[in-house]
Structure 1
Amino acid sequence: MSGINKVILVGHLGKDPEVRHLEGGVAVASFPLATSETFNKEGRKVEQTEWHNIVMWRGLADVAAKFLQKGKLVYIEGKLRTRSFEDKEGIKKYTTEVVAENFTMLGRKTDFESGESRVARAVENENFKGGDSDDLPY
Structure 2
Amino acid sequence: MSWLRTAVSKAVEVKNYADSVVQQAGQAVAEGAKLFQDRILIREEEEEEAEEWELDRFSYEDLSAATDSFSNDRLLGFGKVYRGVLSNSNAVKCVNHDSKQGLREFMAKIESMGRLQHKNLVQMRGWCRRKNELMLVYDYMPN
TM over 0.5: same fold? no
Higher Cα Rg: structure 1 or 2?
2
| Higher strand proportion (structure 1 or 2) | 1
Q: Select the structure with the greater relative contact order (CA < 8 A; seq sep ≥ 6).
A: 1
Q: TM-score, normalised by structure 1?
A: 0.27
| Higher helix proportion (structure 1 or 2) | 2
Q: TM-score, normalised by structure 2?
A: 0.27
